[in-house]
Chain A
């Protein structure tokens, strides 16, 4: 049942031979070892498995790998050399927006996708953009402040 599926992951073309209905999360995390992509709820509610697909955030736990064919995928590892992402990450640290860190890659990807599209978001727009990501220890105030600060610094 395996088939070859090709996509761009973190700026590199990758071809995998997998079950086409396999969760994209499992392919990215287990097969391609991008461990920043986490499994939280597994039903598309918590955002720990967030991946940016063609510029838009998706839940990789409810996405079939075959549906990533031909797309551009970004995980947190793909942002390691990115100037905007560096500012977001520094603001997360400086605003105290990271505690256990499990949700952090998902939040940063959601914030990154938002700032790519809308460099000057309002607080409400930030809240909306992050509403698909759950944090169970830090709370949301510091996270929202970090994104606000990143937007100010980048802008």
Chain B
């Protein structure tokens, strides 16, 4: 792997100091499980200064302040899926972490890395959109809060490479290309509002295997039903659109109505059509994802409505 320099930063003060100096060339290193795969395909990092933040203990904690959970950027997928707090207050995120890659990767891959890498097949991103989470960042310009649903930039190129695999990614350095993060801007924590007990939620993943693979299609959804009427529906789909965001049309279609096969079929059908409409000549992969969307989304929404989910 070619790069310009490597250094470890072990405290927030040291990080804030470091990012004042030549932020354009900073490449933060966390678990490295995506970065090391990308480094195999091209010399993306030849001009970059690798800043390894894995020694920053302050980014490894999960804490709660009443209505919000604050998850340090270096908390791993394995730590999230085992955390009683996450399982109770953000079960949809724990579900996604359970099927994210294999155990070896889950022991290294971090929540901050999953977001900053901005792969459309990144399993944590749709649930964090549904949970209306936001990231806290530090950069040479200061600190800011960004809603996860606004973090990614649309990447139509992703639709054209097999399974959106990390190795085939066209952006070895996602900052500024696949995310709105500035070069050298580093995610330090993720704030997750606790999902009210009135909500039911579900995370669904389709890949070549049940676990241990890149996602071909992911669906995160949370629904609130009162007296048979849908009062909220938050949905986000990964690995099928050129971006990951909250799907507002599903909300507008469903809210105020009773659930039915027709309603959920219509929502799922429109989303499937939208997936196909992204390409003038949809390839087999995109047509497959559209069909999966039509069936899996309709089924999942019905399960949520009938209370068969978490």
Chain A residues engaging chain B, CB cutoff 8 angstroms: 1, 3, 19-23, 42-45, 47, 50, 53, 56-59, 61-64, 66-67, 110, 128-129, 131-133
Residue B36 at the A interface, CB < 8 A? Answer: yes
Q: Is the CB of A1 within 8 A of B33?
A: no
- A-B residue pairs, 8 tightest by C-beta: A132-B102, A62-B36, A56-B107, A59-B104, A132-B104, A20-B6, A132-B103, A43-B37
Chain B, Cβ-Cβ closest to A109:
B104
Q: Whole-angstrom distance from the CB of A52 to the nearest CB of chain B?
A: 10
Residues in A neighbouring B105, C-beta threshold 8 A: 44, 59, 62, 132
User: A57-B103, A59-B104 provided; 10 other pairs, C-beta below 8 A?
Assistant: A1-B6, A43-B166, A44-B36, A47-B102, A57-B104, A58-B104, A63-B36, A128-B103, A131-B102, A132-B101
Q: Which of B45-76 contact A (CB under 8 A)?
A: 50, 52, 54
Tell me the complex Cα distance, A50–B1, Å: 20
Chain B 1-45: CB-based contact to A (< 8 A → 1; otherwise 0): 101011010000000000000000000010011001101100000
Chain A, Cβ-Cβ closest to B102:
A132
Q: Is the CB of B108 within 8 A of A58?
A: yes
Q: Is the CB of B211 within 8 A of A62?
A: no
Q: Is the CB of A129 within 8 A of B3?
A: no
Chain A, Cβ-Cβ closest to B55:
A69
Tell me the complex Cα distance, A42–B3, Å: 19
Tell me the complex Cα distance, A57–B76, Å: 13
Tell me the complex Cα distance, A59–B210, Å: 19
Q: Is the CB of A67 within 8 A of B52?
A: yes
Q: Which of B205-226 contact A (CB under 8 A)?
A: 210-213
Q: Is the CB of A64 within 8 A of B52?
A: yes
Residues in A neighbouring B39, C-beta threshold 8 A: 21
Q: Whole-angstrom distance from the CB of B257 to the nearest CB of chain A?
A: 38
Residues in A neighbouring B6, C-beta threshold 8 A: 1, 3, 20-21, 66
Among the listed B108, B167, B210, which residue makes an inter-chain contact with A63, where contact means beta carbons less than 8 Å apart?
B108
Chain B, Cβ-Cβ closest to A114:
B103
Tell me the complex Cα distance, A57–B212, Å: 14
Q: Whole-angstrom distance from the CB of A139 to the nearest CB of chain B?
A: 15
Residues in B neighbouring A42, C-beta threshold 8 A: 40
Residues in B neighbouring A22, C-beta threshold 8 A: 1
Tell me the complex Cα distance, A148–B167, Å: 35
Residue B78 at the A interface, CB < 8 A? Answer: yes
Residues in B neighbouring A131, C-beta threshold 8 A: 102-103, 210-212
Tell me the complex Cα distance, A8–B167, Å: 31
Q: Whole-angstrom distance from the CB of A107 to the nearest CB of chain B?
A: 12
14 contacts between A and B (CB under 8 A): A21-B50, A23-B36, A42-B40, A44-B37, A45-B102, A50-B104, A56-B107, A59-B105, A62-B37, A63-B108, A64-B36, A66-B8, A66-B52, A67-B32
